A and B are shown apart, each in its own frame.
Chain A
């Protein structure tokens, strides 16, 4: 079960990274990250760095085993991953209907055209012959509202994240049961040993 988890986690990692890259294209010089979010993100990074990294990169399995109770820590991360599905859903909803989503015209034009071509290949006819920006907007690289195909691209990416995270969740739920059973077995063995010791 645990071995089957690795590809699903890798896919989730790639999907989140692609999402970050696509949303980064929509930022402008006026974009500001919420300071509280920066602070919370820094603490997560620092906590993970303390556990899972060494001076050259990721820590070795021996270092990891020495630093933390691995099953317990994986369980903590598992819970965080379950929460990340909900975050992905909210990110998707933001892409669907957030009225304030604006981005520089050049990147919007490029992305909208790309998404429209994909949709046209899949049989969508509404986007044929449509232009998404005016020459003036392109020349000035104005901040403009996201047209439908650009939103559609973000929604597809969010769906990818949700799909891959759910894939990673399913085997890990079973792994969690496996870890719990292993812990219970260990406790039962210990209790039996104590009982035998007391009886003998």
Chain B
């Protein structure tokens, strides 16, 4: 197929515009703070078969869930019964491939004026509560997916005549905050309808054939670009493994993620069969998302400017037997999937770095997560939940230190400013500091981690959802591991206690919760780091003089450094 290098680029800009208009509508018409402010969602377009052409938003690993959600809709609503004006919702991870039950998928078909199906407007976004054993529908005590709340198969939510009252009633009856959730679903469905309409308009402007062939072209181009780059890689294989501290149910046992990558010609095989069996606790990762984060790791390694769309799939064969922690069988619970997804991403990066050492980078720190602190009474006099996300930092690369304090792989919206937090909640932030020596040492070190301390000023219930307090990320090419993330209750007092990564606790007024977040992994041998960089790190407080001595083999006294000797360089 001959791809028009100009029209395809023009259509790509226009599809990008539609996706960002959908995203804008999603965030600005949503009802709940989680949608309006956290931006925990994506919106985009697929072709008629469901292949994702473009996604807008920070969670690009929704890529393959779009396709599965569309296919689930088409399975239940074949062409004969799907009509212009219809919109559908589905949130069962085992049907639609969404990462967990609160991530609702909305799907609206786009029909050209002549009645042909062009594609779909799709959005996946987090819902505040869809039932289950705890508020928020992500209970640490969940042992099967039914504990995570309402599981909708693909159902018709809206027709040209309006919203299906029965479906709304079912959802309403299954949420602790029904107004908020229904407000958000309407916004989300609305944004997919907008996307479908705009896609149809684009067909009127350019012709359906031009739009369809451009969508095909964009998918082909992504696949072709990935394969072209892979051809230049050596034919080789590599393995990597990493561990979660435990599954949340059996705290005595680590959970293993293992990836074997093998590159032949212009294709890669990713074999995840070495991962542990699915777990009883909620750390399972639906295989659709496991594959999607693996594809993102591949793009990250090959070239991050490749357009992310369904074309990525063509270059990869997956081996993922079912029943693993990365391919659970219903009814395993999946609500705490994120640390597993992050670990799979990191392991794929590592395995690919072994296939092609020239492309190796150190991983970001593990142990990102969140904390929620529930008060019976906020400053405004109402029950309130303070919710904050914790991030880590990126790893070192062949040319640079890792960036500090970012999510790798995906992003949500930043946490709340300290001055707003203290104004709205009975809490005092005692520290928000850089965490010295938390970055993995290396010729290029990881980004620095941080410390954040909360003093609660009223009794409250606190839930920590983190991971990898005992199993940090690793260094690459001689670089070192970063310090692991950890959470301490009342540090420096007689009742100081290290907390588990997944824990719920009652806190008393005056209790202090300290989060120490992991830095990124180190790249290359630390002794080879430039004198000036080691000195700057010590002066800036990123590295202690002791660590400069112990890890980098350098003596820093005052504002001067004893330069690296030739013996130091070769050791």
A associates with B: no
Which of A's residues lie within 8 Å of B, judged by CB?
Answer: none
Interface residues of B (CB under 8 A from A): none
